[in-house]
């Protein structure tokens, strides 16, 4: 229903640990497949004498999407529980997942970590947990999946719980805020009902854990921030920048500023879903037209905000980063590409100010010579070209970034402080 609070849920975990299957199971158990679709497949399945066809149907569809090479397969699936309307946001296992997760395309409120009991903590388990932590997801539901494969053995479950607990502690996740659930996405154990196969488990089912997640933080009262994705020229209208409103509202008649291009004007028209609207809000994808702005005045990576509270442009900024994977060590002077909202800018890590002990959160070392995979650090960064970015404490939607090099995401970070261009 329209009045349930909304949750954006990320499903994270190593490839093949059962993320898609679990999403299929959630859609199935929450009745999220339209009745007419089920009916159609019920008839088909009855003719063919297939059992359990409804779940099979969901999985077939997910598989089909995957085979068609769709980059986002389980993402954007929706289901409702008693308490919330959930949308599955971007999904790991795809090229852009890590980047999207950081640059705001995903904006998960909470995450379900899937760990196959027969494999335990694997490289992407680690990577995704690091990321979730860095991006401020502070509550995790951990589904220990494929319990059927180990005959629902309690001891094997406990070993994997212990392994994951160690990982969470390593990245300072408060393990009191994690719930562990033995599940089989395939068979449906402990998803909506307690399973007879795990009499030793008396904790929550997955759906109960989802129902009991805390409500997402209300949107901030931050000013308008609209990162520009593209700029079009449309005959009869003129220059039309498009993008998604991250924070604030845009109304016709507003005086806006584009940064770092440093141009502005009055919003003449706003269009959404091919219709003109007087006003647009966070989450809305809009195209709009600003008096006096030409196609070459602005570009992808600019951020649009109110003229009297324009987006910040960094001369330098200080950030907390977590290094996920780097073949050697990172030292001052390193200049990889930073991805922040829709911008991609080469930035130099000018100094490594502090290394943070990830088990305690304390400063482990001042001005270390280098950092490497697994390290968390506070660094000072100098963009090589103007970059609009905001402190995460003020506008979290515009305050995080991914660092990419050699075709990989090597680190993720949050902006602590912006020293603005003068």
Binding residues: 13-20, 90-94, 145-148
For residue 185, give every residue at least 6 positions away whose Cβ sits within 8 Å of its Cβ, in sequence order, or none. Answer: 18, 21, 22, 24, 25, 114, 143, 145, 146, 191
Distance of CA 203 to the CA centre of its chain: 27
Neighbours of 259 (CB within 10 A): 22
| Residue entry with tokens 């907390």 | 320
Cα–Cα distance for residue pair 261/285, rounded to 1 Å: 21
Nearer to ligand GDP, 15 or 307 (CB): 15
Q: Does 143 bind ligand GDP (CB under 6 A)?
A: no
Cα angle for residues 124, 85, 104 (degrees, 5° grid): 45
Taking the complex as a whole, the smallest distance from the CB of residue 120 to ligand GDP amounts, in Å, to 14
Q: Does 146 bind ligand GDP (CB under 6 A)?
A: yes
**Where does this chain touch ligand GDP (CB under 6 A) — which range of 10-18, 127-135, 194-202, 385-393?**
10-18
Please, are residues 248 and 280 in contact by the beta-carbon 8 Å criterion? Answer: no
Q: Does 149 bind ligand GDP (CB under 6 A)?
A: yes
Q: Does 15 bind ligand GDP (CB under 6 A)?
A: yes
Site string for ligand GDP, 180-199 (x = CB under 6 A): ----xxx-------------
Q: Does 148 bind ligand GDP (CB under 6 A)?
A: yes
Nearer to ligand GDP, 93 or 311 (CB): 93
State the first-to-last Cα distance of the chain, in angstroms, to the nearest integer: 49
Neighbours of 370 (CB within 10 A): 14
The pair of three-digit structure tokens given for residue 258, joined into one six-digit string: 């584009």
Please, are residues 166 and 175 in contact by the beta-carbon 8 Å criterion? Answer: no
- Positions 21 through 40 that interact with ligand GDP (CB under 6 A): 21
Taking the complex as a whole, the smallest distance from the CB of residue 10 to ligand GDP amounts, in Å, to 13
Taking the complex as a whole, the smallest distance from the CB of residue 36 to ligand GDP amounts, in Å, to 26
Nearer to ligand GDP, 16 or 138 (CB): 16
**Strand, helix or coil at 385?**
coil
Cα–Cα distance for residue pair 414/137, rounded to 1 Å: 13
Site string for ligand GDP, 71-110 (x = CB under 6 A): ----------------------x-----------------
Taking the complex as a whole, the smallest distance from the CB of residue 25 to ligand GDP amounts, in Å, to 8
Cα–Cα distance for residue pair 416/422, rounded to 1 Å: 19
**Where does this chain touch ligand GDP (CB under 6 A) — which range of 146-154, 272-280, 308-316, 405-413?**
146-154
**Strand, helix or coil at 7?**
strand
Taking the complex as a whole, the smallest distance from the CB of residue 131 to ligand GDP amounts, in Å, to 16
Task: Candidates 7, 145, 156, 259: give the one binding ligand GDP (CB under 6 A).
Answer: 145
Cα–Cα distance for residue pair 184/193, rounded to 1 Å: 12
Question: How do 6-12 and 110-116 pair as beta strands?
Answer: parallel
| Residue entry with tokens 């990245």 | 171
User: For residue 373, with 0-12 CB atoms within 10 Å meaning exposed, 13-18 middle and 19 or more buried, which class applies?
Assistant: middle
Taking the complex as a whole, the smallest distance from the CB of residue 186 to ligand GDP amounts, in Å, to 3
Taking the complex as a whole, the smallest distance from the CB of residue 119 to ligand GDP amounts, in Å, to 10
Cα–Cα distance for residue pair 150/387, rounded to 1 Å: 51
Task: Candidates 6, 16, 165, 332: give the one binding ligand GDP (CB under 6 A).
Answer: 16
Cα–Cα distance for residue pair 376/356, rounded to 1 Å: 5
Nearer to ligand GDP, 128 or 326 (CB): 128
Quick one: angle between helices 19-29 and 53-67, nearest 10? 140
Taking the complex as a whole, the smallest distance from the CB of residue 151 to ligand GDP amounts, in Å, to 11
Nearer to ligand GDP, 16 or 266 (CB): 16
The pair of three-digit structure tokens given for residue 64, joined into one six-digit string: 């089909």
Q: Does 179 bind ligand GDP (CB under 6 A)?
A: no
Q: Does 17 bind ligand GDP (CB under 6 A)?
A: yes
Name the closest residue to ligand GDP (Cβ): 18
Task: Candidates 10, 19, 125, 144: give the one binding ligand GDP (CB under 6 A).
Answer: 19
Nearer to ligand GDP, 33 or 88 (CB): 88
- How many distinct helices (H) and strands (E) make up the chain? 7, 23
Q: Does 18 bind ligand GDP (CB under 6 A)?
A: yes
Sign of CA dihedral 317, 320, 326, 329: positive
Taking the complex as a whole, the smallest distance from the CB of residue 185 to ligand GDP amounts, in Å, to 4
Site string for ligand GDP, 208-237 (x = CB under 6 A): ------------------------------
Q: How many residues bind ligand GDP (CB under 6 A)?
A: 16
Q: Which residues of the chain form contacts with ligand GDP (CB under 6 A)?
A: 13, 15-21, 93, 145-146, 148-149, 184-186
């Amino acid at each position: 229903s329209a009045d349930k609070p909304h949750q954006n849920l990320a499903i994270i975990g190593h490839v093949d640990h059962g993320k898609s299957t679990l999403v299929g199971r959630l859609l199935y158990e929450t009745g999220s497949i339209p009745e007419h679709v089920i009916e159609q497949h019920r008839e088909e399945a009855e003719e063919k004498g297939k059992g359990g066809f409804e779940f099979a149907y969901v999985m077939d569809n997910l598989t089909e999407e995957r085979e068609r090479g769709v980059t986002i397969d389980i993402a954007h699936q929706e289901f409702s529980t008693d308490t919330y309307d959930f949308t599955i946001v971007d999904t790991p296992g795809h090229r852009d997942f890590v980047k999207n997760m950081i640059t705001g395309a995903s904006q998960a409120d909470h995450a379900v970590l899937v760990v196959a009991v027969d494999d335990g903590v694997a490289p992407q388990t680690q990577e995704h947990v690091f990321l979730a932590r860095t991006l401020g997801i502070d509550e995790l539901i951990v589904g220990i999946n494929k319990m059927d494969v180990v005959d629902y053995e309690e001891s094997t479950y406990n070993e994997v719980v212990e392994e994951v607990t160690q990982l969470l502690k390593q990245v300072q996740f408060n393990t009191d805020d994690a719930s562990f659930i033995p599940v089989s996405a395939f068979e449906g154990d402990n998803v909506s009902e307690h399973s007879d196969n795990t009499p030793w488990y008396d904790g929550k089912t997955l759906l109960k854990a989802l129902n009991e997640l805390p409500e997402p933080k209300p949107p901030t009262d931050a000013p308008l921030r609209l990162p520009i994705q593209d700029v079009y020229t449309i005959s009869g209208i003129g220059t039309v920048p498009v993008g998604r409103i991250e924070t604030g509202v845009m109304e016709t008649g507003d005086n806006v500023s584009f940064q770092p291009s440093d141009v502005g004007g009055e919003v003449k028209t706003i269009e959404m879903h091919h219709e003109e609207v007087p006003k647009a809000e966070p989450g809305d994808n809009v195209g709009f037209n600003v008096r006096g702005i030409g196609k070459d005045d602005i570009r992808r990576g600019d951020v649009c905000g109110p003229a009297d509270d324009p987006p910040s442009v960094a001369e330098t900024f200080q950030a907390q980063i977590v290094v996920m994977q780097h073949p050697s060590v990172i030292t001052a002077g390193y200049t990889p590409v930073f991805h922040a909202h829709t911008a991609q800018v080469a930035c130099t890590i000018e100094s490594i100010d502090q290394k943070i002990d990830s088990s305690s959160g304390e400063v482990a070392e001042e001005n270390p010579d280098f950092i490497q995979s697994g390290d968390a650090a506070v660094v000072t960064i100098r963009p090589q070209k103007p970059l609009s970015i905001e402190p995460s404490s003020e506008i979290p939607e515009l305050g995080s970034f991914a660092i990419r090099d050699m075709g990989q995401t090597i680190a993720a970070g949050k902006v602590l402080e912006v020293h603005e261009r003068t």
